[in-house]
Amino acid sequence: MYNEIKGISKILDIKSDFTWHHLNYIESMKYNIDFNDIGDKVSYLEIKFLIEEKNKIRNEVSIKFSEVNNFEVKNIGGSYNQIMGFEIIEQKANGWELDKKYLIRDYENGVIKFYCKLIEIILVTEM
């Protein structure tokens, strides 16, 4: 599934064994509505995640999700926004419409859940 995510090499070049479960914390979120490439108004969500290893933050990963639908966030606030079971599930096999191509969620605690059409890794920073 990684080959459809724009910019995935930014993570894999730094952490070759990367999986979505490595994203441990939400550092920030930015939600906005703007025009896409063909002039339609759509929603965008950019999330900065932190990767922790051996009790130390190792990487910041900024991911942009395009054409977001059914966005749910629970129990966010304070200085500690941990996610326990983050995953991205491609919905193509289930016959979902194009605008709900991916399901993004924290399956352990339900902190975040939404659908989107496109995913792009914007920036990966080593700490």
- Per-residue confidence (pLDDT) for residue 38, from 0 to 100: 92
Nearest by Cα to 127 from 19, 46, 21, 49: 49
Average pLDDT over residues 69-98: 84
- Per-residue confidence (pLDDT) for residue 68, from 0 to 100: 96
Sequence-ordered list of residues with C-beta below 8 angstroms from that of 44, at least 6 positions apart, any chain: 31, 32, 33, 34, 64, 65, 66, 67, 68
Q: Point out the least confidently predicted range of 13-22, 93-102, 117-126.
A: 93-102
- Per-residue confidence (pLDDT) for residue 80, from 0 to 100: 80
Task: Examine the pLDDT at 1 and tell me if it is beyond 60.
Answer: no
Average pLDDT over residues 28-34: 96
Task: Examine the pLDDT at 18 and tell me if it is beyond 90.
Answer: yes
Task: Examine the pLDDT at 12 and tell me if it is beyond 70.
Answer: yes
Q: How confident is the model at residue 77 (pLDDT cuts 50, 70, 90)?
A: confident
- Per-residue confidence (pLDDT) for residue 95, from 0 to 100: 63
pTM summary value: 0.91
Pair of tokens at residue 44:
């965008």
- Per-residue confidence (pLDDT) for residue 121, from 0 to 100: 97
